[in-house]
Amino acid sequence: MQQLPVIESVKDAIGYTMSNITLLVKASMFWVAIYTVFVGIFSFLGGEAYLQIISNFFENTAGANPEAQYAAFIDFIEQLSAMGSLVNWLYLVMILVGIVAYYSIAIAWHRACLLDEVPPLVRLGTLEFKYFGYTILLGLVLYIIFVVIGVVIGFILAMLSGDGSVAAIYPVIGVMSILLFLAFGRFTLVFPGIAVRDRRMGFRTSWAATKDNSWRILGGTILCILPALVISLIASLISAVSLPLVISLPIIMILQLLSGAFLLSFMSICYQFLVPSPDEGDLA
pLDDT digits (tens, 9 = 90+) for 96-117: 999 999 999 999 999 999 999 9
Beta bridge partners, 198, equal 283
**Average pLDDT of the residues in 64-76:** 83
Residues ≥6 apart with Cβ < 8 Å to 236: none
CA distances from 199 to 10, 28, 114, 159 (A): 27, 27, 15, 48
Number of residues written out for the chain = 284
Predicted local confidence at residue 282, as pLDDT:
57
Q: How confident is the model at residue 160 (pLDDT cuts 50, 70, 90)?
A: low
Residue 207 has pLDDT above 60, yes or no: yes
Lowest-confidence region among 24-28, 32-36, 148-152, 207-211: 148-152
The larger pLDDT score, comparing residue 180 to residue 152, is at 180
**pLDDT tens-digit profile of 221-261?**
999 888 878 877 877 777 677 778 888 888 888 888 888 89
Q: How confident is the model at residue 157 (pLDDT cuts 50, 70, 90)?
A: low
**Average pLDDT of the residues in 202-206:** 90
Please give the mean pLDDT across all residues of the chain: 85
Predicted local confidence at residue 168, as pLDDT:
61
Residues ≥6 apart with Cβ < 8 Å to 233: none
CA–CA gap between residue 102 and residue 107 (Å, rounded): 9
Residue 280 has pLDDT above 60, yes or no: no
In a 3-state reduction of DSSP, which class is residue 283? strand
